[in-house]
Structure 1
Amino acid sequence: MKIHFQKKSLLIATITALSLIGTQGAGATQNVTEAPVVAEIHEWKNPPVLAEGIKEGGFSGLVHLPNDPPSIFYTLADRGPNGQYGKDELRTFPDQNYTPRLYKIKVENGNIHVLETIKLHLPQGKIDVFTKTAYISGLPNLAGPDEVPYDATGTKKISYDPDGLDLEGIAYNPVDDTFWLSDEYRPSIIQVKRDGTILGRYVPKGSKEALVAAGAKMEIFDTLPAVYSKRIANRGFEGVTISPDGKFLYTSIQSPMALPDKKTGEASRNLRILKMDLATKKIVGEYMYIAENAKDFVKVKQKDVVISDLAALSQDVLLIDERDKNAGTNAQIKRIYKADFSKATNLLGTPTSEHDFEKLTVAQVKEKGIVPVSKELLVDVTKLNYPHEKLEGLAIVDKNTIAIVNDNDFGVEGYDEKGKIKINSNPTQMYVIKVGKDLK
């Protein structure tokens, strides 16, 4: 695979890893002194137009299959173009007919080539209540727990779609050749065939009945802990990965949940990561991952320090993408950590999980004897001239190479004073990074 550089300065781009200041004690971060460098930058040039001058993009996850060439990846886009209209920030969907999709892509000579677009659809014989076809939409599921969907003008409400998905992560299971996707809405995790056929949606206990009553046609399994229904809107499951042997799936909540309320969640540093046994489809673990302390950075709010993606090295060790809401030179946190779950406390089904997970301080976590996931800083992407806010997709290419992609939000940048959608030129890009050490 040839090496290409966007800027001459990237030839010498290096970093000295920073220690995590705020997470001390049981979840302390270790330091890595190797020097990652950007090896390649690829861009999706001239993507197809969807609607209103909006182009395809929005890459929210990334995975590299074990037997594929190093230039081949699978990625996915989220719920489609959307914006926030007016002072009430109404959630708008300029392309109501958008279908959530996977992409098979090839990167070479600075370009991202789409080899295949795989639109998600229901099994044969089932029809989505909104689209009136087998294809699903990216619209919210239910009135009440979800945002109200509006058209592009922000003046007309759109119907809900109980089978709609807001996709954020993609993983591959080599055992049965299926993909698993993470969804922010319920939140949920979804198993799909290579052709995009949805095999099942796994939701928090107590969620299935309302979806079925609203007309959902997917096979729904309400087997996730009920507490996950307390996710903050638009902050559900973000990352998902599967161990190389296909035995375990991990999925991460993007932000701390509204437990006992939204204010507590937005102030918390305690993120949840679930573990599923793929042979039984049962949840077997829940772990605490302590995010960076926003107070240690400039112009960073705690609610904006999130997990964006996961990539498994083994059954117990993952790479975790942690980021803030800033972009370019203003970015403070765009970090890839190597996280070890082997000694972390399994909190599944405990009072801590069900009642006080989010409200515990780092000191209280230690007092309770809870061991969070350990973190070792692998790459500080802010030191690599990375321009994007949403570092959202993370994949392992080989023993010392990773790849990341950004979600450009389809170029949608809100509305102007006349109520027209503003479109920017922020591209969809992949950065291939040599990490300077063996990952495995």
Structure 2
Amino acid sequence: MASIPPCTTRRGWSRPRQSRAACANDGMTGGYKVERLAWRDHVLAEIPLPRGVLRVTLGLGSGLARAPGDPPDRLWAIGDRGPNLKIKAAVEDYGLDHLKRLQDIDGAKVMPLPDVGPTIAELRITQTAIEFVRAIPLLRSDGRPLSGLPLPGGGEAEMEPTFDLQGTLRRADGGADTEGLAVLADGSFWAAEEYGPSLMKVAPDGTVTARWVPEGVTGDCDPPLSPVLPAIATRRRLNRGFESVAVSADGAWLYAALQSPLAHPDKGAGESARHARIWKLDAATGVVVGQYLYPFDRPGSFERDRKASDVKRRDLKICELNWIGHDRLLVLERISRTAKIYRVELTGHQTPPVHLDIETQPALEAMDPDDFAGVGVWPLAKTLIFSTDEALDIAPDLEGMAVMSDRELILVNDNDFGIGGVETAFFRVTFDAPVLA
């Protein structure tokens, strides 16, 4: 059994490793066990390319969720937009030299299977394995699958230009880059996605019935876009929109996290800011009823990442939220190789509503954290319950997390559809004592 000392911090700047004893004085230490659960990736396609075969597998590690009342062996997962390659990888790894002309286009991606889009998967958990039950592709109202292509654009939000294997630009058609999933007791879903960024209500059969976007985001989409969210979300960094969503047990409240600091008032602020925004929303109307600042740890405290590369603030991300009680969340914070799971209490940390207004200056992202108290802003306090720096067998790129009980979590990595040869890996973490209280 391994041991990890939970540590509560006010600003979110983790104390260095040599301070473990001081953290342990909180009296919250405990043991845990980590098990890798057996899983076999499902092959979607094998595409011959100049430098080998591009093997594409099912992607389902962007988010995990459970519904109230679900049987103990049921789990839900969601993948992102679909298989995609950065231009550099397409050229250097697969020999697609004709795509070199696209290398200087910011955010450009290649989608080798553009008809494979966002999909929810139902899974079954056994004592030693995760089993695939069924796939539920996200659908438009007319039954056509929702694509993984960007929104047509609008407002301040930048979109990633997407090309096929021949280098032809694919027309933006109101698709989604899904990254988070929540399940309701009636079998319907909420999905969070990065392009809009948007929150989507999804029927049990996968039909998207509503899509909330920030004010100013427009486009001819199915279903029609509902601009009910604050316009400030359009300042999300490219490919750093809504990364996670959670729902209260009664379905009345949603909690959504922007993956990284907003590029607000400019990109420089998004690169250097130390906090991401978490929103609490009325699930019936989309009105944001609370905004909270989640403080990131120091980049150098992510030890596996620090040893592998020169990490910076811009690399920090929120990759998952789980609801664990009234205004209480588990947050998965990571760079790449290291992931940390924190417990946060939202009560008493709501920012003044004026900071939801895109016109408010100075923007929170541009402020020094030492000045927050002067404007009535109190970043969330964080209690660390788990770090993969203490469990080196856990795979990098964790994006999915599900609470199975007050002492058991399921974690999963994002395999990026297997394009880089990465396999999906599920892990069960069982604690000696409850960790959610």
**TM-score higher than 0.5:** yes
2:265 and 2:357 map into 1 onto residues whose CA distance is 12
2:351 and 2:9 map into 1 onto residues whose CA distance is 23
Q: Indicate the residue corresponding to 2:189 in structure 1.
A: 179
Using a 3 Å threshold, how does the CA distance of structure 1 residues 171 and 234 change in structure 2: closer, same or farther? same
Q: Residues 387-426 of structure 1 correspond to what in structure 2 (within 5 A)?
A: 387-413=394-420, 424=421, 426=422
2:157 paired with 1:147 = no
Q: Secondary structure at the match of 1:105?
A: strand
Q: Indicate the residue corresponding to 2:96 in structure 1.
A: none
2:47 paired with 1:35 = no
1:296 and 1:63 map into 2 onto residues whose CA distance is 28
Q: Secondary structure at the match of 1:180?
A: strand
Q: Which amino acid aligns with 1:82?
A: N
Q: 1:75 aligned to 69, 74, 77, which one? A: 77
Answer yes or no: is the 8 Å Cα contact 1:34–1:435 preserved in 2. no
Deviation of the 1:270 alpha carbon: 1.4
Q: Which runs of 5+ in 1 are unaligned?
A: 1-11, 127-132, 414-423
Aligned pairs, number: 393
Q: Secondary structure at the match of 1:41?
A: strand
Q: Indicate the residue corresponding to 1:311 in structure 2.
A: 322
Q: Secondary structure at the match of 1:358?
A: helix
Using a 3 Å threshold, how does the CA distance of structure 1 residues 271 and 390 change in structure 2: closer, same or farther? same
Deviation of the 1:172 alpha carbon: 1.8
Deviation of the 1:352 alpha carbon: 7.5
Answer yes or no: is the 8 Å Cα contact 1:338–1:378 preserved in 2. yes
Answer yes or no: is the 8 Å Cα contact 2:5–2:385 preserved in 1. no
Identity %: 30
Q: Which amino acid aligns with 2:406?
A: K
Using a 3 Å threshold, how does the CA distance of structure 1 residues 151 and 38 change in structure 2: closer, same or farther? farther
2:233 paired with 1:228 = yes
Q: Which amino acid aligns with 2:377?
A: I
2:41 and 2:398 map into 1 onto residues whose CA distance is 21
Using a 3 Å threshold, how does the CA distance of structure 1 residues 116 and 294 change in structure 2: closer, same or farther? same
Q: Residues 344-359 of structure 1 correspond to what in structure 2 (within 5 A)?
A: 344-350=349-355, 354-355=360-361, 356-359=363-366
2:284 paired with 1:282 = no
Q: Indicate the residue corresponding to 1:420 in structure 2.
A: none
Question: What CA deviation, in whole Å up to 9, does each residue of 1:204-233 have, x standing for no partner?
Answer: 0111xx312xxx121321110001011111
1:120 and 1:351 map into 2 onto residues whose CA distance is 30
TM-score of the two chains, using structure 2 as the length reference: 0.84
Q: Which amino acid aligns with 2:122?
A: K
Answer yes or no: is the 8 Å Cα contact 2:124–2:132 preserved in 1. yes
2:383 paired with 1:365 = no
Answer yes or no: is the 8 Å Cα contact 2:60–2:121 preserved in 1. no
Q: Indicate the residue corresponding to 1:17 in structure 2.
A: 6
Answer yes or no: is the 8 Å Cα contact 1:54–1:410 preserved in 2. yes
Q: Secondary structure at the match of 2:36?
A: strand
1:269 and 1:303 map into 2 onto residues whose CA distance is 9
Q: 2:432 aligned to 425, 433, 436, which one? A: 436
Answer yes or no: is the 8 Å Cα contact 1:169–1:238 preserved in 2. yes
2:417 and 2:136 map into 1 onto residues whose CA distance is 18
TM-score of the two chains, using structure 1 as the length reference: 0.83
Answer yes or no: is the 8 Å Cα contact 1:42–1:111 preserved in 2. yes
1:234 and 1:404 map into 2 onto residues whose CA distance is 22
Q: Which runs of 5+ in 2 are unaligned?
A: 15-22, 48-54, 89-102
Using a 3 Å threshold, how does the CA distance of structure 1 residues 286 and 104 change in structure 2: closer, same or farther? same
Answer yes or no: is the 8 Å Cα contact 2:345–2:380 preserved in 1. yes
Q: Indicate the residue corresponding to 2:341 in structure 1.
A: 336
Q: Secondary structure at the match of 2:404?
A: strand
For the aligned residue pairs, the C-alpha RMSD in angstroms reads 2.4
